[in-house]
Every structure is written in structure tokens, then in C-alpha cells.
Chains A and B, each alone.
Chain A
Amino acid sequence: MLLLPLGILWFAAVGLALLDGRRRWVAWLATGTLAAGLAACVWLAVVVLREGPVETVAGDWPIGVGIALRADALGLCFAVLSLAVLLAALAFEAATRVRSRTFPALVLFMATGLTGLFLTGDAFNFYVFFELSMISAYVLTSYGERSRQLRAAMIFAVVNLLGSVLFLIAVAALYHVTGSLDLRVMAVRISVVESNPLVLSGTLLFVAFGVKLGIFPFHFWLPAVYTGTRPAVSAILSGGLANIGTYGLLRFGADLMPRELALAAPALVVIGGASVLYGALQAISRRDPDEVLAYSAIGQVGYVLIALGVGGPVGYAGAVLYAVVNSLNKTLLFLAASLRGRLVGSAFVVGALSVAGVPPAAGFLGKAGLFRLNWGVETVVGQVALAALVLVGGALSFIYMFQLFQRRFWEEGDVKVSSAIGARLLVGGLGLVVVVLGLWPEPLLAISERAAAVLAVGGQ
């Protein structure tokens, strides 16, 4: 059952690699199979939410010998989210025009890597799936193959390869300390090991996932890459691939090393706060829409880090919720910013309001979740500082999003240039999803709490 989404995506990717993705029917076939993979994941998620985590050991080996695949609420939440983002980007590209023969296959390879990574129960397999999705991402970044995209791909590949190597070293170090690669066994053994060697591997993991997320001190590659790539690829990178960073921090930090995470909490909050302010201020000073969105992405992941630093069930639920909302916002905005028309303009407003955290859109939920974090902070000074940071960050993001909207959609004469109808409808639909999630927030809140509950149990 666990292998179903992985199997669908993997075989479809291999098959599509042989076909010419520039043909319309191939692109739609890829979209269809990705939708099937997503449906399988959603079905799995329903089963897991009803009956608890599902586990499969590959190749019928006894438990403890074979490599385990394990689906719990946290992993599935991110798997469904990432597949939905990839599906939106692929459908967007299929509705306009696919420019290279490998694009649909690469998106499916990345979907395989992401699904595997979110569903694996083995640290080294995590690395393998991680590399599978990263390698597809390196090639996808060069999609379009103009000199701009090639430079972006070069930067992206080199920086993120370094991140992957650091992650690999951290996994090897953890294996040396615990003598196991199974994440659950590792969590149990780590709780009895003294902290010293763990702090080192924890720092390596933090750097590796920080590079992936593009938080403040590791953000230097991000603007160049997000502005250089095509809109669909920027949406995939910021909406789909960046989830690896959040999930990795939650899984390896909160689940595996809760003590070390608590130790690092002040640093996480400070780095997160710096990220929020830096991203927002830089975004205000930029004019190019892609650049504004890139810096906004740096700012938004800062909140996730703050939520993680506050910790506890409330903090983890806030981190999951914010990651979900943020990735939907970013997908919507990157796709909408490249199009024209009234429908797209309204969808963009929804995304902009959502980033700023204004009520009807889903972003409000994320911001409300951040205010709830105050329950987890003991000191009054900390509470005031946190609330002030969220308010200031929200106000700044409102300014830059509104500036961007003004420049992009209030220009005279633009209305005549209309983009492909399918792409516009898709973006409109995404905007609708963001509004509906904001108006009917119960499912999202419940899911994020279930996901955080996984961590609270694992951390004991």
C-alpha cells in the first residue's frame, strides 16, 4: 500500500523519460499520472489519519534488518502538499507550452524523490531520495536553457551539492554514534547518548537544511536562482523543494534530537527573526517581481524557524501550518506573477493578502498560529518581542506585496496582453484554494496538529 504512490510515480517517470515532453499529449499524460500519484497519497493519508501510521519493510526482510518505509501524518502532510504543488506547476507548464523534452519526466522524478523522502523511515534512504529530487531540481533549474537559467543552475547545483555532502556526513556521524539507520531506533538510542557528538551532527544537519530552505545566513544563492529560472520552476523550487528543509528540520530536529533542538532554540529564534526582517527589507527595496518574491521567500521561512525554536506541540503545529500555507502562497504568486489578466490579478491579490496575513486568505491562519506561539514562551519580554516581530514582519510584507501588485497589475495597456486561458484558470483555481482554506480552516488545523502530535510522541 505504501509502495503504490512511489511505484506509480517512479514507473511513470522512467517511461516518460523516453518520450518527447514537448508534445502536448505527453505533458498531459505526465500531469495525469502525477495526479494519480497524488490521489494515492491522499488515500494513504486518509488511511493513516484513521488507523495510525503504516509501515512496510522493503523486500519482506524482518523488521530491523530491511529498509523501512513508514507513513505517518507528518510525512504524508508534506508529501500531499509537495505533490499538489508539483502538479500545479506541471499543469501550468502543460497549459502554456513545455519547452524541453525532459521537463515532464524530471518533474515526476522529483515527485518520486520527494514522496520517498517524506515516507521513508531510514536515514540513508532519506539521503538517496533527497539526492534523487535534488538532481532533478538541478536539471530543472536549467529549464529554458537561456544563459540566465544556466548560470542559475550552476549556482544552485554547486551550493546545494555542498549542502547534500554535509547532510551525508551528518548521517554517517549519527550512524557511528547510534549504530542504526532506522529513524525510530536512532531516536531511542540518541535519547541516551551524551549530547556532545550530537551537537556537531545536529549543526551539520541544520546547515544542510538551512541551505535548502534559504534562511538568512545561507540565503545567498536563492535570489540569483529564483530570478533566473522560469516561473513554473521557481514555483516548484520554493513551493515543493523547500519543504525538504522544513520537513528535515522537523524530522531530524524535533523527532530525532529534541534535546539538542531545545539547546539550539535561542539560536533558531534569532536566526529566524533575522531572516524575517532581512527578507522583508530587501524585498521592499527591489523592483523586479521575481526578486521581490525571492526575498519574500527568505523572510517567510524565518517564521517556520521561529516556530521550531519555540517548540512544543504548539510550536511544531505552527511550523507545519506555516510551511503548508507558505508553500501554497509561493506557488500561487510565482505562477501568477508571470501572467496577465483580470482573473490572474485577483488571484495575485489573494496570494499577496495571504503572505501579509490578512483574514480571508489562508495566510491569516499561519500568522494566527504564530501568535499562538506566545503560549509556549515563558518570559513576558519574549512574548512581546515575538508578537512585535510577527506584526512588523506582516506589515512589511503587506508593503512589498502591495508595491509589487501595483507595479504588475495596475499598469495601463497590460490588459490586452492575455495569457493562455488554461494557465489563467489554473492560477485562479489556486487562488480559490487559498481563500477556501482561509474560510474553512478546520481540516488544515486538524492535520497540522496531528502532524505535530507525531513529533511529540517520537520525542519522548
Chain B
Amino acid sequence: MILLTAVAVAVLFGSGAYLMLQRDLIRLVVGMVLISNAANLFIMGAGLTKGVPPIYPLAADEAVSDPLVQAMTLTAIVIGFGVAALLVSLVYRVYTSHLSLDLDDLSAAEEREEAAKDRQPLPSSPPSREPVLVGSGAGAVGPGGEGT
């Protein structure tokens, strides 16, 4: 069972890392979610060696497994969920301002902005230095999930 959990954590983390290296932002988010779930499974795994399930009421002298890891995992899942929601909304905002989810397009946009900045006489650029690409109308990105 320990080996199985370890392999599951490794596969989850590995696939997550692979997806994070892709050029597509959605895949990047999915990869992030997989990696945070690998961490959740790892926390569960940290309590595995303690034995039988922690179910109340307990028999008098029975060994119980540790309930704390499950509480921790639950908290971590909630946090991971909030973070995933935040990431997706961030990706959406990137899409509305760049009309693309490809990292190549994003870095191309960055290079264009850099070039535009270099053409200006450098020191006298007032505080508003970024050229706007496409609308920045849609409301603020909400305060995300500060759950728990």
C-alpha cells in the first residue's frame, strides 16, 4: 500500500510537471491542480503507517490511525480549490487582454512592448508607461478563495 501510494504521488506530480512545461495556459493550470493534489495525497500518505481508520466511537484499547492528516488534507484541498479558481480567472483575464492562451504569443506581446518602450526617450516616461493592448474594462479579479 505504501509503495502504491508513493507511485500514485509520483505519477500525479510527474504528469503535473509535464503539463506545466506545455505552452498552453490551460494545461499549465491543470498541471498545477495535479501537483497540488499530489501534495494532498502525500499528506494522506504521511499518516498511512499508523493503521486502522479513525472512526468514532472507538473500542476501548483499539489502535486508531491519525485523524489529523485528514483534517490537514481537507484544509489543503480547500486552499487548492480556491487557488485553482483564482488561476482560472487569471487565465481568463490574460485571454481577454491578449486574445491568446499560447505562451509564445504572450512573450511576443512582451517583446513588442519592450521595443515600444525602447523607442521612447527613456528617462522622461511618466508613471503611465504601459501601452494598453486590448480593453481592461471587465471588473477586478475578485478576492479569490481565501477559504478556510
Contact = CB atoms under 8 A, between A and B. Distances in A.
B143 A106 contact: yes
A50 interface: no
Interface string B22-33: 000100100010
B46 A162 contact: no
Nearest to A407: B123
Contact of A150 (B43, B76, B93): B93
A55 interface: no
Given A102-B143, A148-B130, A417-B126, A172 B39 contact: yes
Most-contacted residue by chain B among A145, A147, A175, A413 (CB, 10 A): A147
A106 to B, nearest CB: 6
Q: Give the interface residue-count category, chain B.
A: 35 or more
Nearest to A113: B146
A150 B130 contact: no
Contacts of A158: 20, 28, 32, 87
A127 B109 CA distance: 35
A102 B146 CA distance: 13
Contact of A414 (B68, B117, B122, B123): B123
Nearest to B72: A124
A233 to B, nearest CB: 13
A165 B72 contact: no
B106 A139 contact: no
A173 B45 CA distance: 9
Contacts of B43: 168, 172
Given A151-B106, A158-B28, A411-B123, A135 B82 contact: yes
Given A168-B76, A181-B68, A414-B124, A148 B113 contact: yes
A408 B87 CA distance: 36
B140 interface: yes
B13 to A, nearest CB: 9
A200 interface: no
Nearest to B117: A288
Contact of A145 (B106, B113, B124, B136): B136
A413 B141 CA distance: 38
B97 A147 contact: yes
Given A106-B143, A148-B113, A169-B42, A411 B28 contact: no
Contacts of B8: none
B103 to A, nearest CB: 9
Contacts of B57: none
B66 to A, nearest CB: 8
A144 B127 CA distance: 12
Interface string B100-127: 0000001001100100010000111011
Given A147-B132, A150-B90, A176 B106 contact: no
Contacts of B127: 231, 338, 419
Interface in A261-314: 287-288
A147 B145 contact: no
B141 A169 contact: no
Contacts of B130: 144, 146-149
Contacts of A148: 110, 113, 130
B98 A147 contact: yes
A247 interface: no
Contacts of B10: none
Nearest to A174: B46
A380 to B, nearest CB: 45
Interface in A381-399: none
B31 to A, nearest CB: 9
Given A138-B90, A145-B141, A147-B94, 9 more contacts: A128-B148, A145-B140, A147-B98, A148-B130, A162-B20, A165-B38, A168-B76, A408-B123, A411-B123
* 5 A-B pairs closest in CB distance: A176-B46, A172-B43, A147-B97, A100-B140, A172-B46
Interface of B: 20, 25, 28, 32, 35-36, 38-39, 42-43, 45-47, 68-69, 72, 75-76, 79, 82-83, 86-87, 90-91, 93-94, 97-98, 106, 109-110, 113, 117, 122-124, 126-127, 130, 132-134, 136, 139-146, 148
19 contacts: A109-B143, A128-B148, A131-B83, A135-B86, A142-B93, A145-B141, A146-B133, A147-B98, A147-B130, A150-B93, A162-B32, A165-B36, A172-B72, A175-B72, A231-B127, A287-B122, A338-B127, A411-B123, A413-B124
